[in-house]
Amino acid sequence: MSGLRQEFIRFCVASRVLTFGEFKTKAGRLSPYFFNAGSFDHGGALGRLAEFYAKTIVASGVDFDMLFGPAYKGIGLAATTAVELARLGRDVPFAYNRKEAKDHGEGGVIVGRALAGRVLIIDDVISAGTSVRESVQLIRAAGANVAGVVIALDRMERGTGALSAVEEVNRLYGVPVISIASLADVLGFLDESADPALMRFRAAVADYRRDYGTTGG
């Protein structure tokens, strides 16, 4: 595990964003872990999360001109990541979308900077890929290009076919999907943990990855 990835997983566990137990997924699978970015629900945690996003973006070397946050979770993520990038010396504009078009004032569905150039999408995870698909459509309709997608956790889990949601996005749109951490990093964290309360979930997470996972992102 890289230092940043390991630090991020520790942060998620401490914040109870990443929890272990038995959880039923939308696909009807019983998962031994649950990642809920909505639990980054106070200023300190959200600011720390933005640090991880910004550092991951910088380290990736991806070329981009602005950030885009899909409604709803992506709104706060894009805004706070833009603030952190500016603190690191990269001041870029950002935008987000409304679920419903506004018919007064400035109108439209886009709030913030007009979509232009190379647009980097910021979201929490990719599940069915619906949010990414809608974002790509909005960006391309504006005449801009998608630079890539940045997410917090790559579950490395197959969808209905042989590919993971991340792999499907990469294949469909030909853009990089960059994650702060992945399920492989979660397993690495459990391998290194000395906490018996966490160690007991290691075998269940490994079994889940074997049954439903992919080798790639």
- Tell me the C-alpha distance between 193 and 190, whole Å: 5
Helices 3-14/43-60 angle, 10° precision: 160
- Which is catalytic among the residues 26, 42, 99, 104? 104
CB 190 within 8 A of CB 162: no
Report DSSP state, residue 2: -
Q: Which residues pair with 154 in a beta bridge?
A: 182
Residue 26 bears catalytic tag: no
Phi (first) and psi of residue 118, to 5 degrees: -100, 115
Report DSSP state, residue 22: E
Residue 104 bears catalytic tag: yes
Tokens 């590919």 belong to residue: 163
Q: Which residues are annotated as catalytic?
A: 102, 104
